[in-house]
């Protein structure tokens, strides 16, 4: 990512704000470098491992306080083109979280029952309860991305959905759920490399779908759809972050940093005991 995208701010190791889309900011993804990795040289840099482990430990501690407190929730939305690394991000960044209060939800093609309701119905049911964290692998944004590109609904319908989405996320925020949205940004060349790698690896071939190639042919249409979603739906209560994702290790570093900072800002804490523990005697 170029320095001017941060409003002229200098980069200091890993800064979150330059990755955040300001509310109302027009977005051109061509200005964001998916190959960016800051001042870090490679995944073997000791500072990378130290930073990631520090954040993962902090996330686990903050999650425990969030669960104990039971007053707030965190919703993490992961979006990106095929092979952008949504599964890998979940595997590496969420690995230290307690599954007792963390769930991962994958949104596939809607079922007939889901299609019989409004587009947010199936999503709202999966939002996290207070004290919990939910991670959406794809999300309600599919209804202004793939639905738009494939022409599954009219332009009038999908254009109104930006406003519906913002109102929905405001409802969540007003109810105590912090919403963080992460667009994992890879280049078209990097996607080609990863698709070839997937085809060559017997342990990854099951992931390959011929539809992936047809989707790839619509790359520019998807980038335009993402730019509108990022521009129109990054709000103070539910910001979008553009995460450089060509380097998987740097992607993980940024995501862990964003989530650690977010949980820290939420400030969860252990509730006080319900009784005077000094007066209790256990025999």
pLDDT in tens, 116-141: 999 999 999 999 999 999 999 999 99
Higher pLDDT, 64 or 214: 64
Full domain range(s) for residue 199:
18-37+46-266
Mean pLDDT along residues 96-117: 95
* Sheet containing 73-80, strands listed edge to edge, beginning at the edge strand earlier in sequence: 102-106, 133-137, 73-80, 177-185, 240-244
Backbone dihedral angles phi then psi of residue 133, each to the nearest 5 degrees: -120, 135
> For the chain, what is the domain count?
1
Q: What is the pTM of this model?
A: 0.91
Domain presence at residue 124: yes
pLDDT bucket at 211, cuts 50 / 70 / 90 = confident
Domain presence at residue 13: no
What's the CATH number where 27 sits? 3.40.50.300
């Amino acid at each position: 990512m170029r320095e001017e995208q941060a409003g002229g701010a200098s980069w200091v190791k890993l800064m979150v704000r330059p990755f955040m889309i300001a509310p109302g900011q027009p977005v051109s993804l061509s200005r964001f470098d998916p190959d960016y990795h800051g001042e870090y040289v490679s995944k073997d840099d000791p500072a990378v491992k130290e930073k990631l482990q520090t954040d993962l430990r902090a996330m686990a501690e903050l999650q425990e306080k969030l669960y104990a407190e039971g007053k707030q929730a965190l919703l993490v939305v992961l979006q990106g083109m095929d092979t952008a690394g949504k599964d890998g991000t979940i595997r590496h960044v969420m690995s230290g979280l307690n599954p007792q209060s963390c769930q991962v939800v994958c949104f596939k093609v809607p079922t007939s029952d889901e299609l019989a309701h409004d587009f947010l119905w199936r999503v709202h049911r999966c939002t996290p309860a207070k004290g919990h964290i939910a991670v959406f692998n794809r999300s309600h944004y599919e209804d202004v991305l793939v639905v738009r590109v494939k022409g599954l609904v009219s332009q009038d319908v999908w254009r109104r959905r930006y406003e519906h989405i913002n109102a929905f996320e405001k409802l969540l925020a007003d109810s105590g759920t912090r919403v963080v949205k992460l667009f994992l940004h890879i280049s078209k060349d990097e996607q080609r490399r990863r698709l070839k790698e997937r085809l060559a690896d017997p342990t990854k071939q099951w992931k390959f779908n011929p539809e992936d190639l047809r989707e790839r042919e619509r790359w520019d249409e998807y980038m335009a759809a993402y730019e509108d979603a990022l521009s129109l739906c990054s709000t103070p209560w539910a910001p979008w972050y553009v995460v450089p994702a060509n380097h998987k290790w740097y992607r993980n570093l940024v995501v862990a940093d964003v989530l650690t900072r977010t949980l820290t800002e939420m400030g969860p804490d252990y509730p006080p005991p319900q009784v005077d523990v000094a007066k209790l005697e256990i025999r």
